[in-house]
Amino acid sequence: MKGIFTFYTLFFSLALAAFGQSKHELKGSISDVGGQPLIGASIQVSGTSFGTVTDIDGKYSLVFDKTGDYNLKLSFIGFETITEKISITKASHTRNFQLQEAVSGLQEVEILGRKEEGYKNTATFIGSKTQTNIKDLPQSVSYATKELILDQGLMRVGETVKNFSGVSQFTFYDDITIRGFRINGGSNTQLVNGMRSTSGFWKQPLINYLERVEVLKGPSSALFGNASPGGVVNRVTKKPLDVNRNTLNFSLGSFNNFRGLADFTGPANESKTLLYRLNIGYEDAQNFRDLQFDKNIVVAPSLSFVASEKTRVNLDLVFNNSSSRLDRGQSTFENDLYSTPISRSLNTANDYLKEQTYTITTSLNHQLNKSISLNASYMKTGYSEDLQEHRSSNSYAVDGEGNTIGTQVGRQVFIRKRQRFVDNLSSYFNINTRTGTLSHKLVIGYDYARETLAAGGSQLTASGYRNASNTGSIARFDPTKPQNYLLDAAGNPVPNVPHFDLENPIPSQAMQDMSKYFYAKVGYDPTLYYLNGFYAQDQITFGKLEAMVGVRYEIYSDFENYKKEGEQKVNQTALLPRLGLVYKANEHVNIYGTYVEGYNPQTASVIANPNAGGPFDPLESSMVEFGMKSDWFNKRLELTTGVYQIKQKNTLYPVAGETDLLEQIGEEEAKGVEVDLTGRILMNWSVMASYAYNVAEITESPNESDLDKQKPNAPKHQGNLWTKYEFDQGALSGLGIGFGTNFVTERNLSLSATQTIPGYTLMNAALYYTAGNVRLQLNVNNLTDKTHWVGGYDYLRLFPGAPRKLLGTITFSF
């Protein structure tokens, strides 16, 4: 910690010196013609980069070095840009402006960069493929803006989900549960800017290039194709802005954590027809877990060509290079949760994980006329994995009698390389029209997505126990046939890979001579699937009622025995309806209801088990949800409440007495209540809070013991509160304080075991000081140093949360 405070001291005088000096101030507000404040509206001196944006109340302040005449350019997304001439002659001027709403078919939320600042995000694209006010969407959406992410000192999606009702971590990996249903980065159901993407399952990439992380709750297949019934995560990337904004951000923290980030954006030419944005991230971090580290480099350039007011072309690239070790979790003595420290991992110094991911997106938005616009995007994602690891064999060691040795963990070794690619094409028309007294926002579109696992993917596996001649290995030890195994002096079977000794871990964590192991080769056969989706949706407004009616027809094609003899194409089709209704009770309160259906294929590419049987019908899901969305304090604060029921059928279960064979006899149900509160109570007082009650159970299963049991890693209760107050007057002006707490209740680790992990309540705090263009920040997470677990599979694979952690950050804006 000495390094962090030294870091602050070095820059403290610089921060004070940079504090702005008022000379000639122009202040006022920018609103629409109805008097409603425009948050994030831009006011800029024409021909220069000098300007600012309005705050949460629509107010602005500009400080000029000298008197004179200036031409001011005022702009805001969805409003007509105006130019006003003003004379600065004295120390203080007040001038208020009003902007007229523009007629535009452009998808401003995703195509134009977001200029709002704060925890509240007014509009979204994910729920309707049109720019829609979140309050008008008949489905629940949770989100975390880049401002909240910065204030909490977060840098992973898994860290942000504690702010969302009904969403929690499942493991350390890119792996979460939404309303009791699990999704992960390798499932190809996550979204980037509303398009299907893929990443590695193991490591969560940095998120410094994201504008926000949002979750659309419930089945979303009607819009995006096959997806989890719990919901989808959408990562919205930062877009170029037509005003200059540049930041440099450096952090030092516990466990030898260093991070450097940069974000540059603005016009690349005087006419502002070419805009750029460049996000760069570097991380070199150790971990509270033994032998764990992360080295990450992220480069994310983005260009926007504004050909005219009706046409815009974007090009985005995100490249992530990661070097680390794969952490398979904490192992304890058998059935003794607190018997080993949370820092203990089963890795050795030989182990490594190298991952590379890139995403390239090009998109076109063209307004054909006042009512019709065309949106077309293509995205290419590539992922490569190079892994070498020592990990548990998901079992304890055994002695010569076949009895478990509860202080030693059986181990295996994986050496693996593979590559995966995803192509994604999305094209649709937005049509705004009227029929009599009804207004319509139509979306008519086509999607194509394709995923391939490239040829050459393979894995070397060393596991089991050595045979009697010490020339190979046998997967499991059979105590009735000891003559088949190599035995030590005590009569115990000799493992192919030495066991991990939980009582004396240092020798087990040292470098191992991997040339002495016996390996079996496992091939990852190439796979290919693709889907074609056709959809139509209409948002119909009639007075205080707004209905959303949509349908999607999808053809999912997979190839069994791809590129091998007996290759066979398998098609599955789905017709997916979506119905929603919003009643605008008054200016501040909307009441909504929705019914949506979803599906997930269960074909060769998904199951990855050629002996599973089948073909199987897809997982089929449906959701009914009712709720209320409202805003308060002059629309600064947003409150969403909802109740829901989700059902999913056709779950696969093993056939009794068979090794690999599966059958479709499972059914699951989740039902619950959620509350989300986001925004500002006062101009300088921000808040984000959530609560969820979720009962996610198995309602049909061949195992009676599974019935009415809460699903793994799905807490029945969870909640979060984060608040920040900034002093804007007096001696404390520039100082800010933040405090938060989050809790989850007890969770089951698996359906087959009785092992659980306890609930926990964590407290976090932050301190900020802003002077001019410099901001100092200190975050302290897990203030009370609470031992806790964020998830797990069993007591051999537990995922502990971090102990008390400090992070100091300095940010320069210019």
pLDDT at 459: 95
Q: Which tokens hold the place of 420?
A: 């995966």
Average pLDDT over residues 353-374: 93
In tens, the pLDDT along 28-44 reads 999 877 677 887 788 88
Task: Report residue 564's pLDDT band, with 50, 70 and 90 as the boundaries.
Answer: confident
* pLDDT at residue 109 in the model: 41
* Model confidence at 410: pLDDT above 90: yes
In order of their start, the domains of the chain are: 1-102 (2.60.40.1120), 237-459+522-813 (2.40.170.20)
The 3-state secondary structure of 548-588 reads EEEEEEEEEEEEECCCCCCCEEEEEEEEEEEEEEEEECCCC
User: Rounded CA gap, 13 and 294, in Å?
Assistant: 33
pLDDT band, residue 659 (cuts 50/70/90): low
Gap between the Cα atoms of 385 and 420, Å rounded: 9
Q: Are strands 42-45 and 637-654 parallel, antiparallel or unpaired?
A: unpaired
| Residue 657: pLDDT over 80 | no
Residue 653 CA to residue 643 CA, distance in Å, equals 29
In this predicted structure, the answer to whether residue 105 has a pLDDT above a threshold of 60 is no
What the block records as the tokens of 37 is 């404040």
In which band, very low, low, confident or very high, does the pLDDT at 19 lie, cut at 50, 70 and 90? very low
Q: How many CB atoms lie within 10 A of CB 811?
A: 19
pLDDT score at 78: 62
CA distance 648 to 671: 12
Helix (H, G, I), strand (E, B) or coil at 152: helix
Rounded to the nearest integer, the mean pLDDT of the chain is 89
- Distance from C-alpha of 79 to C-alpha of 71, rounded to nearest angstrom: 19
Q: Judge whether 173 and 186 are in contact, CB under 8 Å.
A: no
Quick: pLDDT tens for 700-753: 888 887 888 899 999 999 999 999 999 988 889 899 999 999 999 999 998 766
* Coil, strand or helix at 200: coil
Q: Report the alpha-carbon distance of residue 195 to residue 237 in Å, rounded.
A: 12
- pLDDT for 7 equals 47
Predicted pLDDT at 613: 74
Q: Tell me, what's the pLDDT at 652?
A: 79
- The pLDDT of residue 10: 47
Q: What is the pLDDT of residue 150?
A: 93
Q: Give pLDDT, residue 664.
A: 81
Cα 94 to Cα 92: distance, rounded to the nearest angstrom: 7
- The pLDDT, as a whole number, for residue 186 is 65
- What pLDDT shows up at residue 106? 45
Q: Is 657 left (phi over 0), alpha (psi -120 to 50) or beta?
A: left
CA distance 695 to 645: 10
Q: How far is CA 651 from CA 178, 559, 607, 667, 704, in A?
A: 17, 21, 12, 6, 15
At 16, the pLDDT band (50, 70, 90 cuts) reads very low
In one-letter notation, the amino acid at residue 21 is Q
pLDDT of 188: 57
Rounded to whole angstroms, how far apart are CA atoms 218 and 597?
9
Please state which of the ranges 16-20, 33-37, 181-185, 595-599 shows the lowest mean pLDDT. 16-20
d(CA 272, CA 49) in angstroms, rounded, equals 11
Residue identified by tokens 């102990």 is 803
Banded pLDDT at 18 (limits 50, 70, 90): very low
Question: Which residue, among 341, 299, 105, 325, has the nearest Cα to 206 in the 3D structure?
Answer: 299
What pLDDT, on the 0 to 100 scale, is given for residue 772? Answer: 87
State yes or no: pLDDT of 112 exceeds 90.
no
pLDDT computed for residue 670 by the predictor: 96
Is the C-alpha dihedral spanning 328, 334, 336, 341 positive or negative? Answer: negative
Joined together, the tokens standing for residue 689 give 């809070």
Sequence-distant (≥ 6) Cβ neighbours of residue 625 within 8 angstroms: 139, 140, 217, 218, 592, 593, 594, 642, 643, 644, 645
3-state secondary structure 630-654: EEECCCCEEEEEEEEEEEEEEEEEE
> pLDDT-derived band of residue 339, with 50, 70 and 90 as boundaries?
very high
**pLDDT score of 108:** 47
How does pLDDT run across 79-103, given as a tens digit for each residue? 778 888 888 888 788 889 988 766 4
Split at pLDDT 50, 70, 90, the class of 612 is confident
Between the alpha carbon of residue 169 and those of residues 180, 212, 296, 321, 798, the distances in Å are 11, 18, 21, 23, 12
Q: Does residue 145 surpass a pLDDT of 90?
A: yes
For 643, phi then psi, to 5°, come to -125, 145
Q: Quick one: what percent of the chain has pLDDT higher than 70?
A: 92
Q: How many CB atoms neighbour CB 362 within 10 A?
A: 15
Note the Cα 521 to chain centre separation in Å.
34
Number of H helices, E strands in the chain: 7, 49
What's the whole-number mean pLDDT along residues 148-168? 93
Does residue 658 have a pLDDT over 70?
Answer: no
pLDDT of residue 57: 78
